[in-house]
Amino acid sequence: MPAKSNYVANATPLFSILSPAQCEEIFLAAEEVLERTGVTVHDEEARDILKKAGCWLDGIRVRIPSAVVNQALNSVPKRVTLCNSRTGSRDVLLEGNNAYFGTGSDTPFTIDPYTGRRRRSTKQSVGWACKVIDALPNLDFVMSLGIVQDVPLLISDRHQFEAQVLNTSKPIVTTAHDIYGFADIIEMCEIIAGGEEELRRNPFMTLYAEPISPLQHAWEAASKLVLAARKGLPVVYTPCVMAGGTVPATMAGVLTNGLAESLSGLVINQATREGSPFIMGGVFTIMDMSSTIFSYGSPEFNLLMSALADMAHYLKLPMFGTAGCSDACVVDEQAGIEAALSIAMTALSGPNLNHDVGYIEYGSTSSLEYLTINNDVIGMARRLVRGIKVNDETLALDLIDKVGPGGHFLAEDHTMKYFKTETYYPELINRQRYDAWKENGSKTLFQRANEKVKDIIENYQPEPLPQDVQKRIRAIVERAEQKVH
Amino acid sequence: MSNYFEDLAHSVIAGQQDRVKQLTQQALDAGTDPVEIINQGLISGMNVVGARFKVGQMFVPEVLMSARAMNGGMELVKPLLVGQELPSAGKVVLGTVKGDLHDIGKNLVGMMLESAGFTVVNLGVDAGPQKFLQAIKEHKPGVIGMSALLTTTMLSMKDTIEVLKEEGLRNKVKVIVGGAPISQDFADEIGADGFAPDAASATDLCKKLLA
Ligand code: B1M
């Protein structure tokens, strides 16, 4: 063995949008926004907390000194772990560049896998979605993929959580209408985990809230940040900003404004209780100035996502990203193109908890076929990220010499040992030769996905919750229902 | 004069506020009828803008620049309209319904309506039935527009319509609705007069309802 010095290897591909100096510039700009312009906070309790932490109040307008932001960045954990709700297994480690994928939440519409028609989402459609997510190996966590609309709407969040937790054991990122909805959902989770502390130690859910751009924290959002901190449970805080609409049209302006919103949310959370788990979000995109949609598939959406991931790594904050979604109104070529780009870029830049896989129609509709196709895309992207290992064994010089010119590698031990680990085999993507494909019914990718979805709905059994636990969850749903009557 | 009006309309379309002001002032100095300036220059320019936006030839910020340019001209003409009403396509009271904080879509609808010559009263977010009721009594609009982006808050649209019925005002005002979870079916179900999927069609809808 020779001594090999000054050798640099890329264990994975290297990919970044912003340099550390650019990250610093944007971070300092966001701190300046918070000191100079500040934010509005529409919750009295949160304002009191901020005042005690050293912020400057002027009515509901709160300006935040940079030192207070820095303190929050120091106290927030650099990692958050999410667990399997049945086994407690610590599966999802939100730290560094780990990229996990999951679905998005409350779409008003969904494509029915049996009729192909766009319809309002229901408790059943959410249950189906969770079953499918549970069965797909490349999906790591769950958001509902629909808002339940066939129950009393004011407490539909409780039904929605029940539909989710009965049908999947993967971690759940959950929305709720308000803190009362969250309180009930947390109670359900504590029953499942076996107690308050057990849930805190092995959380299988995270709360979800959003500021309102530009620079506003509504009562709903601020109170959720406070509640999460008091409970010691993780919270995702995710600004949904539109370049040219609610934030500047320039990409750097988008990042600065969005980051200022996230950091002020972080301050509310950490000032309530230092050390609370917090996951910085951000769906940063453009408003299409012709149709006025909030775009889920534009190149700027991908660029901003990757840039925000660079920011999150620079600040050492766990991050909630977005990928596998589309502006297309049906699952067509456009949907495929947009998912492939966003999933690949996300996997390469490494935000941690990446949601909205399965959204079409700019976040208004969900499709289980799209989700299932994207399960393959995620697998492909993960293969890209594994990069190329270069060493004596993988260079295979002895083998190349042994086989020599004109031979083949098919029956070699070395091939047997590596062909499966070096290659990714997608499930639904076609690599059949023409005649075999024709013999199998000449099916499109969408048709194959539809068959798989129906097969999962009809035959897959998620790990059930114990009967008594199911009953106690039902009781909470019913209690909420009684209150609205 | 026809060339002059063309020039004015073009400046509105190009969003050149200074040029619009300059041309308007020139016309006024030359003794042109203010109503002519509005109808043949300012509004006729804005009509082209509206049509181009609808077919994707102009973008939102361009439309808003044009509207700003038009308003620059309007400000100069207004004081001279002694005794005459400023021509308006109609009055619309707009709001995002109770419990809902999504407002950028509703604001866009408002801006587009204004660009098309409507007078808009914007009630902001979290507007419940009583707020709409008061606004109707105070402003006497031809149309009220409710925006909701949440399935939980869209129910409030129905409440508002019911309150209007109780107060005997339902026949005095047209009701339109819009937002992500809203559909034509839903609009029919709650007894609204119309639904619009985007800001451009909301403008067309209001024109149709008030024609
Ligand atoms: C009167 O006549 C008319 C006629 C036409 C009308 C009209 C009225 N109103 C609108 N139109 C039409 O013309 C407009 C212009 O062309 C159009 O308006 P739009 O508003 O559609 O278009 C805008 C220009 C651009 N589009 C948007 O601004 C909406 C985009 C999405 C992504 C969205 C955003 C940006 C936001 N959100 Co919200 N948000 C989503 C949206 C996804 C989607 N597919 O719509 C939706 C609507 N959100 C949702 C949710 C769940 C939520 N959001 C919330 C918050 C927010 C933000 C604050 C972050 C932000 C809004 C910021 C703001 N100032 O408005 C929360 C609710 C807060 C509250 N109480 O209101 C929260 C509950 C999330 C949470 N748990 O915290 C989902 C709806 C679920 C449901 N219950 O139905 C949602 C579909 C996303 C999803 N897939 O989960 C047309 O609809």
Quick: pLDDT tens for A434-450.
999 999 999 999 999 99
Q: Rounded distance, CA A184 to CA A353, Å?
A: 24
Q: Which two tokens stand for residue A143?
A: 């958001």
A212: DSSP letter = B
Q: Rounded distance, CA A103 to CA A141, Å?
A: 7
Q: Which residues pair with B118 in a beta bridge?
A: B90
User: Region B132-144: what's the mean pLDDT?
Assistant: 96
CATH of the domain at A285: 3.20.20.480
Amino acid at A335: A
Q: Assign residue A115 a region: left if phi > 0, alpha if psi is -120 to 50, beta otherwise? A: alpha
Q: Closest Cα partner for A294 from A281, A309, A283?
A: A283
Q: Which residue out of A148, A291, A293 would a mutagenesis test of the B interface target, given it has the greatest number of B Cβ atoms within 10 Å?
A: A291
Q: Rounded distance, CA A67 to CA A89, Å?
A: 38
Task: Work out whether the CA dihedral A63, A68, A73, A76 comes out positive or negative.
Answer: negative
Q: Tell me phi and psi for residue A93, to 5 degrees.
A: -100, 100
Mean pLDDT of chain B: 92
B59, B101, B151 ranked by CB distance to A147: nearest = B151
Q: Which residue has the tokens 């909030």?
A: A294
How many angstroms does the Cα of residue B103 sit away from the middle of ligand 1? 8
Q: pLDDT tens-digit profile of B52-87? A: 998 999 999 999 999 999 999 999 998 888 777 777
pLDDT at A28 over 90: yes
Q: Which residues pair with A172 in a beta bridge?
A: A142, A205
Residue A267 counted as domain residue: yes
Q: Tell me phi and psi for residue B97, to 5 degrees.
A: -70, 170
Using pLDDT thresholds of 50, 70 and 90, give the confidence band for residue A160. Answer: very high
Interface of A with B (CB under 8 A): 108-109, 120, 147, 149, 153-154, 156, 177, 212, 218, 220, 242, 244-246, 287, 289-292, 364
Pocket test for ligand 1, best of B53, B60, B102, B206 (most atoms within 8 A of CB): B102
Q: Which two tokens stand for residue B88?
A: 């308006």
Amino acid at A332: D
Q: Rounded distance, CA A352 to CA A373, Å?
A: 21
Q: Which residue out of B102, B150, B152 would a mutagenesis test of the A interface target, given it has the greatest number of A Cβ atoms within 10 Å?
A: B152
State ipTM. 0.91
* Cα A413 from chain centroid (whole Å): 40
Q: Which two tokens stand for residue A393?
A: 């064994």
How many angstroms does the Cα of residue A240 sit away from the middle of ligand 1? 10
Determine if ligand 1 sits within 6 Å of the CB of residue B181. yes
Name the closest residue on chain B to residue A245, using Cα atoms: B104
Q: Assign residue B19 a region: left if phi > 0, alpha if psi is -120 to 50, beta otherwise? A: alpha
Amino acid at A19: S
Q: Tell me phi and psi for residue A365, to 5 degrees.
A: -135, 150
Q: Which two tokens stand for residue A216?
A: 């506003």
Which domains are delineated in chain B? 2-81 (1.10.1240.10), 91-210 (3.40.50.280)
Q: Which residue has the tokens 């901190």?
A: A229
Q: Assign residue A453 a region: left if phi > 0, alpha if psi is -120 to 50, beta otherwise? A: alpha
Mean pLDDT of chain A: 96
Q: Are residues A414 and A342 in the same domain?
A: no
Bridging pattern class, strands A365-366 and A359-360:
antiparallel
Using pLDDT thresholds of 50, 70 and 90, give the confidence band for residue B88. Answer: confident
> A233 by DSSP, 3-state: which?
coil
Q: Are residues A309 and A412 in the same domain?
A: no
Whole-number pLDDT of residue B84: 73
Amino acid at A280: M
Q: What is the DSSP string of B44-59?
A: HHHHHHHHHHHTTSS-
Residue A8 counted as domain residue: no
Quote the pTM value. 0.94
How many angstroms does the Cα of residue A147 sit away from the middle of ligand 1? 13
Q: Are residues A401 and A290 in the same domain?
A: no
Using pLDDT thresholds of 50, 70 and 90, give the confidence band for residue B152. Answer: confident
Q: Which residues pair with A217 in a beta bridge?
A: A41
B61, B155, B198 ranked by CB distance to A291: nearest = B198
Q: Are residues A147 and A247 in the same domain?
A: yes
* Cα A36 from chain centroid (whole Å): 32
CB–CB contact A108 B59 (8 Å): no
Q: Angle CA(B32)–CA(B35)–CA(B39) in degrees, nearest 5?
A: 110
Tell me which H or E stretch contains B177: strand B174-178
Q: Rounded distance, CA B73 to CA A379, Å?
A: 59
User: Region A180-199: what's the mean pLDDT?
Assistant: 95
Residue A70 counted as domain residue: no
Q: Is some CB atom of chain A closer than 8 A to the CB atom of B60? A: yes
Domain boundary among A422, A440, A467: A422
CB–CB contact B104 A177 (8 Å): no
User: Region A211-237: what's the mean pLDDT?
Assistant: 95
Residues B8, B36: contact at Cβ < 8 Å?
no
Whole-number pLDDT of residue B1: 54
Q: Which residues pair with A359 in a beta bridge?
A: A366
What is the side-by-side order of every strand in the sheet holding A56-58?
A56-58, A61-63, A39-41, A216-217
Amino acid at A16: S
Residues A213, A261: contact at Cβ < 8 Å?
yes
| Rg value, chain B, Cα | 18
Q: Are residues A417 and A362 in the same domain?
A: no
Residue A29 counted as domain residue: no
The shares of helix, strand and coil residues in chain A, as percent rounded to the nearest 5, are 50, 15, 35
Q: Rounded distance, CA A274 to CA A74, Å?
A: 9
Q: Which two tokens stand for residue B23?
A: 């041309």
Neighbouring residues of A201: CB distance < 8 A, sequence distance ≥ 6: none
Q: Are residues A120 and A97 in the same domain?
A: yes
Residue A420 vs residues A387, A423, B25, B150: alpha-carbon distances, Å: 15, 5, 78, 47
| Strand blocks (E) in A323-363 | 353-357, 359-360
Residue A293 counted as domain residue: yes
A142 CB burial (10 A radius; 0-12, 13-18, 19+)? buried
User: Region A216-242: what's the mean pLDDT?
Assistant: 95
pLDDT at B2 over 70: no
Q: Are residues A377 and A409 in the same domain?
A: no
Q: Are residues A269 and A409 in the same domain?
A: no
Ligand 1 atom with least separation from CA of B153: 82
Q: Rounded distance, CA A205 to CA A352, Å?
A: 15
Greatest extent of chain A over all pairs of C-alpha atoms, in Å: 81
Q: Residues of B with CB below 8 A from A292's CB? A: 60, 105, 108, 198-199
Residue A363 counted as domain residue: yes
Q: Are residues A376 and A409 in the same domain?
A: no
Q: Rounded distance, CA A147 to CA A139, Å?
A: 20
User: Region A28-41: what's the mean pLDDT?
Assistant: 98
Q: Which residues pair with A327 in a beta bridge?
A: none
Q: Assign residue A194 a region: left if phi > 0, alpha if psi is -120 to 50, beta otherwise? A: left
Whole-number pLDDT of residue B185: 94
User: Nearest-CA distance from A281 to chain B in Å?
Assistant: 19
The total number of structural domains in chain A stands at: 2
How many angstroms does the Cα of residue A464 sit away from the middle of ligand 1? 35
Ligand 1 atom with least separation from CA of A283: 32
Whole-number pLDDT of residue A425: 95
Q: Tell me phi and psi for residue B188, to 5 degrees.
A: -65, -45
How many angstroms does the Cα of residue A180 sit away from the middle of ligand 1? 22
Neighbouring residues of A59: CB distance < 8 A, sequence distance ≥ 6: none
Q: Are residues A396 and A309 in the same domain?
A: no
Q: Which residue has the tokens 């951000």?
A: A282
Residues 97-126 of B with CB under 8 A from A: 101, 104-105, 108
Which spans in A17-176 are helix H?
20-36, 44-52, 66-75, 123-135, 156-167
Q: Are residues A170 and A225 in the same domain?
A: yes
Neighbouring residues of B171: CB distance < 8 A, sequence distance ≥ 6: none
Which spans in A194-242 are helix H?
196-201, 219-231
Q: Is some CB atom of chain A closer than 8 A to the CB atom of B184? A: no
CB count within 10 Å of CB A334 equals 15
Q: Rounded distance, CA B113 to CA B139, Å?
A: 16
Residue A45 counted as domain residue: no
Q: Are residues A398 and A377 in the same domain?
A: no
What's the start-to-end Cα distance of chain B, in Å?
30
Residues A82, A141: contact at Cβ < 8 Å?
yes
pLDDT at A485 over 90: no
Residue A467 counted as domain residue: no
Domain encompassing residue A404: 392-422
User: Region A415-442: what's the mean pLDDT?
Assistant: 96
